[in-house]
Structure 1
């Protein structure tokens, strides 16, 4: 198991488990977006190229795009840290029912959906999820 710098409390872990499924998709989407470098300014040729240009129009647009990409990159890093935190701790879950509940949560299933899937009450699923969170929160 790799050492993770970031430590999350139980409340944060509940949120990560709830959002894990879409965060993985968002990591892929942002990574793809950031790998593209398709920004096109208006190229000018001939006499237009020698005329004075309005200062800051293209520069401001490019600056805004850079800021947007930096913010996306920060969000990407946050999602990666959260997903890695869970993935590195999966081996801590050894009970079979806990493994199934965790898998279902990571797949994006609701507690009610997991309850129906496993044929046990939602209260029992909530208890199992709480036990999983306790184990994931350990050092």
Structure 2
């Protein structure tokens, strides 16, 4: 079971850069512009909170008018956003700085060889540490919740 979790995390890490690009593309198709990740679900305070503003999310009336393709694109956008958020949040769950560096490099799409050169280590060492990173993430209950997209009550 643990091996399967590591494979799932490896698959997700491998798709991270693609998903980031796909989020941007889908946002442009659906909203006409790309939404910064930092503003996904961010609360506003003060005068900004009181002022009326347009929503980047579609209203119920607009959702009814959307065609099937747009609805599926919106659902896909939300799903991919949750994957990206989970992967980026998982960095906070790793304790060792070197493991954080390896994970961050993997998210950037660096190869084992490039990471090894960056760390002045061997490719085998990077491969071993990568498995340690994936194991650490999959063993953490908070990351399992994030990666399986289960909503947790805060």
Q: Fold match, TM over 0.5?
A: yes
1:100 aligned partner: 101
Kindly state the Cα deviation for residue 31 of structure 1 after the two structures are TM-superposed. 1.1
Q: Please provide the CA RMSD for this pair.
A: 1.9
User: Quick one: distance in 1 between partners of 2:20 and 2:68?
Assistant: 23
The runs of 5 or more residues in structure 2 that have no matched partner are 33-65, 142-154
1:35 aligned partner: 31
How many residues of Structure 1 are paired with residues of Structure 2 in the alignment? 104
TM-score normalised by structure 1 residue count = 0.66
User: Quick one: distance in 2 between partners of 1:68 and 1:128?
Assistant: 42
TM-score normalised by structure 2 residue count = 0.60
> Does the 8 Å CA contact 1:21/1:107 hold for their aligned counterparts?
yes
2:6 aligned to which of 3, 10, 16: 10
1:24 to 2:20 alignment? yes
User: Quick one: distance in 1 between partners of 2:84 and 2:70?
Assistant: 21
> Does the 8 Å CA contact 1:14/1:133 hold for their aligned counterparts?
yes
The runs of 5 or more residues in structure 1 that have no matched partner are 1-7, 37-64
Larger gyration radius, structure 1 or structure 2: 1
2:134 aligned partner: 133
User: Quick one: distance in 2 between partners of 1:110 and 1:19?
Assistant: 14
| Mean Cα deviation higher: 129-138 or 72-81 | 72-81
> Does the 8 Å CA contact 1:101/1:129 hold for their aligned counterparts?
yes
